[in-house]
Amino acid sequence: VVFPEKCHGCGNCVVSCPVNAKDPNTWGGKGPETDELVIRVVDGLITIVNGDLCGGCGACVEVCPVDAIKLAVEN
C-alpha cells in the first residue's frame, strides 16, 4: 500500500526492490517504463506498477524515510 500524499519522490523504494533490481535500467529512483516493475516514481510520487510481482520482502518499507509505504496484510 502506498501513500502518495506522504511521498517526496526520493526513489529509495524503487532501487531497493529486488524485483526492480533485476532490470539493469532501474536507476535514479525512477525505473524504466515497463510493467515488469513493482513500483516506480511517476511525476514525483510513488506508484505501484505491478503489485502482483511483489514478494512482500519489505525492503521498500525499510528504506522509505517518510513512511509512504506499508505492506498490506492479507486476510
24-50 pLDDT per residue, tens: 777 666 666 777 888 888 888 888 889
* Residue of 67, 53, 68, 65 lying closest to 18 (CA atoms): 53
- Domain spans of the chain? 4-63
4-26 pLDDT per residue, tens: 999 998 989 998 999 988 887 77
The pTM of the full predicted model, rounded to 2 decimals, is: 0.82
Q: What are the respective helix, strand and coil percentages of the chain, to the nearest 5?
A: 25, 15, 65
CATH number of 4-63: 3.30.70
